Structure 1
Amino acid sequence: MGEDPPVPTLTGLLARRAEDAADREFLQFAEGSWTFGEIDAWTSRLAHRLIEVDGVRPGDRVAIMLPNVVQWPVVWLAALKAGAVVVPVNCSYRSADLAFVLRDSGARIVFTDAERAGLVAEVGADVRVVDDGSEQFPAQAPQIPIEAATLANLQYTSGTTGFPKACILTHDYWLRLGWICAGATGLGTGDVILTSQPFSYMDPQWNTALALTAGAPLVVLPRFSASTFMADVRRHGVTFFYVLGSMPTLLFKQPPTPEDRDNRLRMVFCSGIPVALHARLEERWGAPWREIYGMTESGVDLFSPFADTEAVGSGSLGRPVPTKRVHVVDPDGNEVPDGEPGELVVEGKPMMNGYWNRPEGGLRDGRLHTGDLVVRGPGGIRLVGRIKDMVRRGGENVACAEVEAALERDDHVVAAAVVAVPDDVLGEEVKAFLQLRNGIAADRTTAGHILERAGTQLARFKVPRYVEFVADFPRTPSERVSKPALREKNPGVTYDFAPRRS
């Protein structure tokens, strides 16, 4: 884990696997299965097409707005072979989200499907539907110089506040992330990896890097469904998966079956294991579950080894991976003693190169200030809170400022304040406090119309579940809305717009 990966680029690693394991299965989607050799040839042909037909040059940004279909990783790897920088786009984005990401990234073209082509065209982007037409091109990679430091992704993340920010990620970032996770798990050619999160998020992407590193197949489900997930684990002979946020709780809520332990699972990585469920999750499915901590900005920072049984139910995030150094600091940047809360600050590799178009943000002297409050003790590092103005809804980060801006575009709304409220399943839910214009009825019908209009601009997971109307907001001396005071006030009438959950 502490060594350097033997191959410096993601595309180079794919070429290595095409040499030493061409006929071994690499990617399995609902529509079929492909070997390392087949994906290497397909991505090389598409890379030539991108260069010769679409005019893509090294450094150009190529966006991907696709669901979990094989073309997602194919376009990703092909664009990287062409020297381009990939911009993953969430399929649930509406026009406002999409227009911002494409404008901010400077994406030249967008690969999408027929269902979304109209939306992409509406925002003025150059559309490419996934029927790529690359069959006539060479199956050997184009001669484009690509190095470890070559940019690979502009990976958008809500971060702490404001509109989404793009983490600048290199080939080394992805290689090292796959390399460290392979070392932590010990996965090899006899294993089967499974992912069900949308491919536009980083988790299926690092799972792809992990599969390339281990020489193991990656099974990609169309989406996460708690009712069918473990049946898919059994059906595909899965030995490893990663889940986060509300996923463990939703899985555990499914009715137990005699087949629960009838699986090949060897290990599970998870972020945010409910402490009270940890031992019960392991007992039910017969495999160790261990915490892994990281962010899009930093890849992986902490993990609990699978041999560490003391971690079960401890709430520990684990200890630093060998390539990372961590600090727990006070607001002045001074290290705090063990047992006292402080902000988690990390440095080392992998790490982003900063935020795209935001030179003032990102790293400070090579260190990432995570915004998470932690305590360091004998059992490792334990999360105790966050100093970020955001909601962590299941596996999603929702920036409060972005939701507030969408709500305040409504003519009925004078001002909005968005906060996180506890939720038994998702960890946190989104609640909006709204100040209405004079003469607007503060009732459920109004709240529903406001959320409906906000939903045309925001992804569904960003739309508030709860709405409470206020006459005015409590303010700080600097005239900012005091969100702590909002949370502590006696609650008024709160309208609950609970979504259906599978």
Structure 2
Amino acid sequence: MTAITFKSRVPRQSRCAATRPEPRNLAEDDMTEVKVVRREGAIALDRMAMAPPLGTLIDLLANQADNFSDREFLRFAEGSWTFGEVDEWTSRLAHRLIAEDGVRTGDRAAIMLPNVVQWPIAWLSILKAGGVAVPVNSSYQHADLEFVLRDSGAHLIFTDAAHTTLVDEVRAANADLAHIRIVEVRSSDELAQYPAARPQVAISGDTLANLQYTSGTTGFPKACMLTHDYWIRLGWVCAGAADLGPDDVVLTSQPFSYMDPQWNTSLCLTIGAPLVVLPRFSASGFMADVRRHRATFCYVLGSMPTLLFKQPPSPQDCNNDLRLVLCSAIPVALHAQLEQRWGAPWREIFGMTESGVDLVSLPENTADIGSGRLGLPVPTKEVRVVDPQGRDVAEGESGELITSGRPMMLGYWNRPGDTAQVLRDGWLHTGDIALREADSYRLVGRIKDMVRRGGENIASAEVERVLERDDSVVAAAVVGVPDELFGEEVKAYLQLFPGVAEDRATALRIITQARNQLARFKVPRYVEFVADFPRTPSERVSKPVLKARSADQPGITYDLKPPRIAGNGN
């Protein structure tokens, strides 16, 4: 382990025109303050479609360790480690797994740890031993953990003292899980009796690397079978699209059990740059960490951009080294303000656990700012928008987004029926509703996240985006609730900023504002204020949990049905 040090640097001149931008009225020429600097990264744009020269994560680590042994690779709260140190540590632990734990090619090994360095060390060690990693959310309780261990067939689990009692209880309560071994990630010094050289285990790009469980918003999660090739190509394509190189610093704050820190690891192995891993996401401290670690690139998603923007502005906002922020679901109304406030381009990237990366908006695509566009397919993918019969829809019409190419999962573990449903004739059916435009794509909503009111289908995401434009709203979630007349009515759960009254007047004001932006039938009839939202590991609202919580402990709900207009059944 090496101590964390930061080179001194003279603070640069602010890139922002103002510390506190006007909420939604930036002049067009204000955006010229946000500089888009294209340079030659580790992967040139014209090479993105090519196959990466190395086929496994283990090969990438070995290559960086051979050529840049002393270059920083992993930076956690507890310290910093170089490529050489990580390569040696993971080799010794892999030998231990083979010798003491009997890990053989294809054996599954679970990882249930918070954001500590032992997480990626365990992951890479499992892969070096020829095993398959099974990431487990460290916030799981009995039922979730029991399900994942049984479904994956894991032989052992890496965990810590904080979770050992839970694992022991699950093993004791289930005879078929009693054989699972608990393994502690010992330091490299404590593994000195094992060789520092990589174990002689046959691993290729086609070798299974992960059983990556989805967030499970519609019931128990499914495990995506992800190969080394999946991770290699994901890191390769993202490095090219984001124009990243060895002088960059990548920062992540999502749980390591989710795929984002893992593809960030592959990215850093590809470009030879350090990965900074925060213990957790904190809206109040995130940008301070970006400045402290001098991060040049990060990825955020879900509610994170809105929560960041609604933090009190600071004169320090623009004093950062960010060159690019990639995001899934940039709030359209805040896009220009996000760029202006922090002085760096924010661009959309679209993908799923099943497909890795499909669409991206490049930094120079300034026309995408505030448009909701997802950009164009990456060079290794084809994307279509189709109707329920699988026929391509016309430009400007909505349909399901489907994608083909690499990276791509092999399928769902132990679920051939589910695999056949989403992977058809070489195309992954995403379940997302999109519009195809002349030079981009735009998401409309999710097939399974719709409110069906009378004869109208309402995309929850569209209504949520409108509600979140209100300055008093932290986040919104829209669902359908039973209605005798229309089948379903629109209900909005709203989380407000501290100090905003959770009364009927506030609800009415927010909904009245929404009426000016939405078709009448899309406007929520019901509003329930909540203190927070249950979320998946990917920071998306878990609506099944939200609805169950509301049914069990209902909050005050306001019925804001507008006066009926003669001749209008809506």
Query: Which amino acid is the alignment partner of residue 344 of structure 2?
Result: A
Query: Contact between 1:304 and 1:311, CA under 8 Å: does it hold in 2?
Result: yes
Query: Contact between 1:93 and 1:459, CA under 8 Å: does it hold in 2?
Result: no
Distance across 2 between alignment mates of 1:146 and 1:386: 37
How far the C-alpha of 1:161 sits from its partner, in A, is 3.5
How far the C-alpha of 1:21 sits from its partner, in A, is 0.6
Query: Contact between 1:328 and 1:343, CA under 8 Å: does it hold in 2?
Result: yes
Whether 2:75 is the aligned partner of 1:15: answer no
1:130 corresponds to: 185
Distance across 2 between alignment mates of 1:287 and 1:13: 30
How far the C-alpha of 1:390 sits from its partner, in A, is 9.1
Q: Alignment partner of 2:383: what SS? A: strand
Return 5+ residue gaps in structure 2 as ranges.
Answer: 1-47, 172-179, 452-459, 469-473, 483-533, 558-570
Whether 2:144 is the aligned partner of 1:97: answer yes
Calculate the TM-score normalised by the size of structure 2.
0.71
Calculate the TM-score normalised by the size of structure 1.
0.81
Query: Which amino acid is the alignment partner of residue 140 of structure 1?
Result: A
> Structure 2 vs 1, CA of residues 432 and 12 (structure 1 numbering), >3 Å: closer, same or farther?
farther
Larger radius of gyration: 2
Whether 2:284 is the aligned partner of 1:227: answer yes
Query: Which amino acid is the alignment partner of residue 88 of structure 1?
Result: P
2:477 corresponds to: 428
1:386 corresponds to: 446
Query: Contact between 2:377 and 2:383, CA under 8 Å: does it hold in 1?
Result: yes
How far the C-alpha of 1:426 sits from its partner, in A, is 4.0
Return 5+ residue gaps in structure 1 as ranges.
Answer: 392-418, 434-454, 471-492, 498-502
Q: Alignment partner of 1:248: what SS? A: helix
CA displacement, residues 279-338 of structure 1 (integer Å, 9 cap, x when unaligned): 000000000000000000000000001011001001001110000001100001111101
How far the C-alpha of 1:131 sits from its partner, in A, is 3.2
1:242 corresponds to: 299
Query: Which amino acid is the alignment partner of residue 356 of structure 2?
Result: G
Query: Which amino acid is the alignment partner of residue 546 of structure 2?
Result: P
> Structure 2 vs 1, CA of residues 159 and 338 (structure 1 numbering), >3 Å: closer, same or farther?
farther
Whether 2:224 is the aligned partner of 1:177: answer no
Whether 2:249 is the aligned partner of 1:202: answer no
1:489 corresponds to: none
Whether 2:464 is the aligned partner of 1:464: answer no
Query: Which amino acid is the alignment partner of residue 403 of structure 2?
Result: V
Whether 2:130 is the aligned partner of 1:83: answer yes
Query: Contact between 1:339 and 1:376, CA under 8 Å: does it hold in 2?
Result: yes
> Structure 2 vs 1, CA of residues 261 and 101 (structure 1 numbering), >3 Å: closer, same or farther?
same
> Structure 2 vs 1, CA of residues 120 and 68 (structure 1 numbering), >3 Å: closer, same or farther?
same
Query: Contact between 1:22 and 1:38, CA under 8 Å: does it hold in 2?
Result: yes
Distance across 1 between alignment mates of 2:124 and 2:311: 36
Query: Contact between 1:429 and 1:464, CA under 8 Å: does it hold in 2?
Result: no
2:19 corresponds to: none
How far the C-alpha of 1:466 sits from its partner, in A, is 7.2
Q: Alignment partner of 1:28: what SS? A: strand
Distance across 2 between alignment mates of 1:130 and 1:152: 19
From 325, 334, 340, the counterpart of 1:283: 340
How far the C-alpha of 1:427 sits from its partner, in A, is 4.9
Distance across 2 between alignment mates of 1:188 and 1:468: 47
Q: Alignment partner of 2:442: what SS? A: strand
> Structure 2 vs 1, CA of residues 50 and 196 (structure 1 numbering), >3 Å: closer, same or farther?
same
Distance across 2 between alignment mates of 1:206 and 1:468: 35
Residues 290-439 of structure 1: matches in 2 within 5 Å?
290-362=347-419, 363-388=423-448, 422=464, 424=468, 425-428=474-477
2:324 corresponds to: 267
CA displacement, residues 131-152 of structure 1 (integer Å, 9 cap, x when unaligned): 3642321111100000000000
Query: Which amino acid is the alignment partner of residue 310 of structure 2?
Result: K
Percent identity for Structure 1 against Structure 2: 65
Query: Contact between 1:27 and 1:219, CA under 8 Å: does it hold in 2?
Result: yes
Q: Alignment partner of 1:176: what SS? A: helix
> Structure 2 vs 1, CA of residues 160 and 250 (structure 1 numbering), >3 Å: closer, same or farther?
closer
Query: Contact between 1:160 and 1:389, CA under 8 Å: does it hold in 2?
Result: no
Q: Alignment partner of 2:339: what SS? A: helix
Provide the aligned length of Structure 1 versus Structure 2. 426
